[in-house]
Copies of this chain bind each other. A is one copy, B any other.
Amino acid sequence: MKAKITLKDIARELEVSISTVSKALKNSEEISRDTKEKVQAFAKLYNYKPNNIAISLKNKRTKNIGVVIPDIVHHFFTTVIRGIEKYANAKGYNVIVCLSEESFDKEVINMEMLANGSIDGFIMSLSSETQRKGDYNHLKEVTEQGIPVVLFDRITQEVECDKVVIDDELGAYQATKKFIDQGKKKIALITTDDYLSVSKERTNGYLKALQESALGVNEDLMLKMDSMEMDEQAIKDFLNEQEPDAVLCVNEIFAVYSMRLVQEKGLKIPEDIAFIGFTDGVLSKYANPSLTVVAQHGEKMGEVSAQMLIDKIESEAEEETYQTKILEPTLVIRDSIAH
């Protein structure tokens, strides 16, 4: 086991000062060619690598980004992480991932843990509990300390920071409109409670499309689930009672599960009943029939978030201007609707 070598070790070995070693390794003009060559050769031989922690302490820059998300076993979030990781890594940053598991307390603890010097900035998506409580003091504290924050997807207007979302309302609007254009008459919505910012937006888009149409809104055709968990019985009852001919679901799982239910009843997809979900994950692609979805472009979202964050981190300026980037959703047409 050979321990890491430090500047001090090199200095002692070569009988020069630490400053000389440091400068020599940086190819400073101050140091003679002879000394530089000697030091660099020695450093290379012993595989010297500067200690990141020491540099962080000196520079007050860690080159770490904290990512706090509610859940990682979720296709959308993993694609976002991938996008963040890609961009961040190319810029020499590491990504520290923390999971809030939809819990307010965990979100707070994780942020506090990271905010004490471990990271240069946060990228996060709010836990459902946080959105329900509407308590954003942990975010405000962090921004007040001058730590940049980028919120994505599950955001709030109550915190001043950069934000990245897709136009969820537009996505739901386009999907609903698609159903209307295809002559569907009983267009249902399966969603979660409105405290989730995204669910609310999506519901709005659904409502808007229906209001603009001849169909109008029928509250009975809207199923609001209490939590993110699948309540299989609730969906079953809902579909049996309402017998819609089209269903918009706020995620893939609701959609795929619903498809199986109606298929068991002998209905044909998309002739008898059509489906559109949100999130372009593996489920949608490999479902039978494959599911038409509103793609959220998670990877792009991650990249944009990382870019905004790193720009803020690296900009010397203390401008307090924040922007919200709105990405366009795309309808990915598959076999769960006519085409």
Contact = CB atoms under 8 A, between A and B. Distances in A.
A51 B94 contact: no
A117 B92 CA distance: 15
Nearest to A54: B57
A81 interface: yes
Interface in A77-110: 78-79, 81-82, 85-86, 89, 92, 94-99, 110
B112 A49 contact: yes
Contact of A78 (B78, B95, B283): B78
A315 interface: no
A288 interface: yes
Contact of A283 (B94, B113, B283): B283
Contact of A97 (B95, B116, B286): B95
Nearest to A60: B53
Q: How many copies does the complex hold?
A: 2
Interface in A18-53: 49-53
A144 B287 CA distance: 47
Given A73-B75, A97-B95, A98-B94, A52 B116 contact: yes
A63 B25 CA distance: 29
B73 A99 contact: no
B85 A145 contact: no
Nearest to A257: B286
A133 interface: no
- Most B CB contacts (10 A, CB to CB) among A73, A74, A75, A281 go to A73
A56 interface: yes
Contacts of A145: 1-4
A253 B287 CA distance: 11
A116 B49 contact: yes
A125 B210 CA distance: 49
A204 interface: no
Given A85-B97, A95-B97, A145-B2, A51 B282 contact: no
A293 to B, nearest CB: 14
A3 B145 CA distance: 5
Given A75-B282, A259-B288, 13 more contacts: A1-B146, A51-B116, A52-B116, A53-B56, A57-B57, A72-B85, A73-B82, A82-B99, A85-B97, A94-B118, A253-B286, A257-B286, A282-B282
